[in-house]
């Protein structure tokens, strides 16, 4: 039985264009929307910005391999992950599952079986879960589906870096993020950047949110460490 068409796409992270296109064709026949990324360095950026409903992840990728992508994804997302691997050794399958993957398929594979595994994982993982599409606090709203930020019903124009910083902070109110944590959110390819660049971006973000660092409404400085998003509503 076909699955109803999903709003959130299946992201296919596979460097072989023909394999990715084959998977996409079979999934779209079953009503899924799909997106393809062929480079490991672009994959995490896509997930953070586009919020896919499922990830099919090849292990052997240029720039960033599938193991690292799986490890990083699980730091900020519970999106279902199906690993594709040409490695048949048990230790590789165990590693994938230990990193948070939901299942694995060994190459060469049957596209029909892969689609059935995707549907089975979605039945298990979405039965009782509702993905968070937006965060709100004290009149500040971050809508991930529309990728829009408003403050007191007025649009706030953020750069891509400012948006990612705000998303990271708002996703876990009260959690203290180190500067290195936040750098990992905004520079996923390992660029050599001094951690104080975070302070510059936070300063710009505060200005756009009219957030006084001496009496913060949203973003609080954790002295000598980093920043946190305030849990409490202001009185």
Among residues 142, 108, 163, 131, the alpha carbon closest in space to that of 54 is found at 131
Q: What's the pLDDT score for residue 76?
A: 78
Co-location of 89 and 190 in the same domain:
no
The token pair at 144 is 């991930």
How confident is the model over 151-205, as pLDDT tens digits?
999 999 998 889 889 988 988 888 888 888 888 777 644 444 555 788 999 999 9
Q: What value does the mean pLDDT take over residues 76-87?
A: 84
Distance (Å, whole) CA 178 – CA 233: 23
Instruction: Write down the pTM of the prediction.
Output: 0.53
Q: What's the pLDDT score for residue 234?
A: 47
Distance (Å, whole) CA 177 – CA 18: 40
The token pair at 11 is 């992201």
How confident is the model over 202-232, as pLDDT tens digits?
999 999 999 999 999 999 999 989 999 997 6
Co-location of 192 and 225 in the same domain:
yes
Co-location of 95 and 148 in the same domain:
no
Domain residues for the domain of 14 are: 10-126
Distance (Å, whole) CA 188 – CA 68: 11
Domain presence at residue 30: yes
Distance (Å, whole) CA 174 – CA 218: 10
Our count of domains for the chain comes to 2
Q: What's the pLDDT score for residue 182?
A: 85
How do strand 140-143 and strand 148-151 relate by DSSP bridges?
A: antiparallel
Q: Is the pLDDT of residue 105 over 50?
A: yes
């Amino acid at each position: 039985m076909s699955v109803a068409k999903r709003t959130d796409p299946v992201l296919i992270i596979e460097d072989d264009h023909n394999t990715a296109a084959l998977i996409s064709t079979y999934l779209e026949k079953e009503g899924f929307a799909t997106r393809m990324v062929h480079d490991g360095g672009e994959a995490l950026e896509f997930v953070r910005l586009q919020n896919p409903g499922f990830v099919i992840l090849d292990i052997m990728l240029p720039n960033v391999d599938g193991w690292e992508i799986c490890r990083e994804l699980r730091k900020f997302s519970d999106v279902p992950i199906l690993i594709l691997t040409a490695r048949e050794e048990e230790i590789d399958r165990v590693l994938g599952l230990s990193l948070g993957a939901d299942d694995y398929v060994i190459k060469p594979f049957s596209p029909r079986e892969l689609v059935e595994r995707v549907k089975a994982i979605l039945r298990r993982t979405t039965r009782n879960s509702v993905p968070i599409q937006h965060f709100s606090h004290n009149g500040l709203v971050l809508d991930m589906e529309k990728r829009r930020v408003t403050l007191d019903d007025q649009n706030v124009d953020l750069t891509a870096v400012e948006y990612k910083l705000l998303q990271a902070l708002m996703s876990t109110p009260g959690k203290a993020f180190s500067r290195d944590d936040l750098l990992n959110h905004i520079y996923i390819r390992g660029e050599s950047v001094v951690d104080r660049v975070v302070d510059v971006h936070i300063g710009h973000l505060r200005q756009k949110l009219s957030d006084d660092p001496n009496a913060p409404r949203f973003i609080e400085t954790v002295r000598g460490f980093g920043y946190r998003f305030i849990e409490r509503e202001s009185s």
